[in-house]
Amino acid sequence: MATYKGIQGYTVQNLSSDPSPLIGGQLWYNNSTGKFKVAEIGTGAWASATATPTAMFGSGGAGTATAALSFGGHFPPASPSITRDLTFEYDGSAWTTGGAYPTDIEGPFGFGTQTAAMGSGGQTPTKVDTSNTYNGSTWTAGPTMNTARESGQSFGTQTAAVATGGWTAPTRVSLVEEFNGTAWSEETNMPAVKANGSGGGTLTAGLSFLGTDAPGAGGRVKTSYAYNGTSWTATTDANTARSGCGGGGATETTTMTYGGEPPYTGKTEQFNGTSWTEVADMSTARQRPSNPLSQGTQEAQLCIMGDTGAAITTVEEWNGAPVSAKTVTVS
């Protein structure tokens, strides 16, 4: 007979008060009230937000839904296709142009907040190992990475960052580097090679999820790996394999992912530390939006620009209801 621990991986806790923070799907017994309770994820939805001034995909990103940063990107309508050095800032209602990135770039790793961000690696069109920090107005050159690559998964802050996987020339890699505010160091590789996925969380509680590990549609994966600052652990697979997805989250257990291909999709999923749950789809299916908003939450995310077969300016905002404690009843 299956047990709760066998299904969820942990036992039901006996607590004197409701836990904080709540993690969707968590079950516990509140001995003060004599009730079993469960953390229930509220219903959320995507809504249209203000479009960006320029259409691009493959941009770097940082910040939150009300203080977002998008930099660089690919602008394919030009002939030949070109990358850009544009930086855009969002205050929750309008976009303004920020300081130009030091070089035209696409596929950079992005970390931090709108006023304390970092962009690392990317393609110019050659793969680069450079890093640049942003103070809310200007970009400044920082320490170089150990390996030049682009379109990997990233999470963390300007002074405590993790860059995982990505493309070197011409292969996908499982390389992991950490940034401590001064220098990049090579750390334990991920269990698998992966590029064009997404990430969320912090240096000591991060998640790298989805992406591609081989050429073609068959190379799309739904795997996710948790990082504790030292080692990697395979976690529950997402529901749908895809690459070029957006996503992020403030912690490992409050991440979400959206979009991707093939084919172009608006599918959205949330992770609670144990399992992935499908929630409402975006209105515009796309891949490679500005990625990631590492400080975003499951209650507020932005999907910025992307590729629908052509670059778009479309922005959608996720408005998620918070996780709440519900009493378990039997009827």
pLDDT of residue 5: 55
- DSSP letter string, 105-168: BBS-EEEE-SSSEEEE--BSSSB---EEEE-SS-EEEEPPPSS--BS-EEEE-SSSEEEE--B-
Q: How confident is the model at residue 170 (pLDDT cuts 50, 70, 90)?
A: confident
Question: CB within 8 A of 192, min separation 6: which ones?
Answer: 174, 213, 221, 223, 225
CATH architecture of 45-319: 6 Propeller (2.120)
Name the 3-class secondary structure at 8: helix
Residue type at 43 in one-letter notation = T
Confidence of residue 80 (pLDDT cuts 50, 70, 90): low
- Find the largest Cα–Cα distance for the chain: 68
pTM as predicted: 0.85
- Give the sign of the dihedral formed by CA 288, CA 300, CA 206, CA 101: positive
Residues 120 and 163 sit within 8 Å (Cβ to Cβ): yes
SS3 96: strand
What's the rounded Cα separation, in Å, for the pair 87 and 111?
14
Nearest to 117 by CA among 96, 145, 88: 88
User: Residue 318, Cβ neighbours under 10 Å: how many?
Assistant: 26
Interval 149-157 mean pLDDT: 95
Give the closest residue to 206 by CA, choosing from 246, 147, 248, 166: 248
Query: Cβ distance 97 to 86 under 8 Å?
Result: yes
Helix, strand, or coil here: 217?
helix
As a whole number of angstroms, the distance between CA 247 and CA 118 comes to: 17
Domain limits, CATH 2.120.10.80, in the chain: 45-319
Between 58 and 12, the higher pLDDT residue: 58
Position with higher pLDDT, 138 vs 38: 138
Quote the CA–CA distance of 95 and 104 in Å, as a whole number: 20
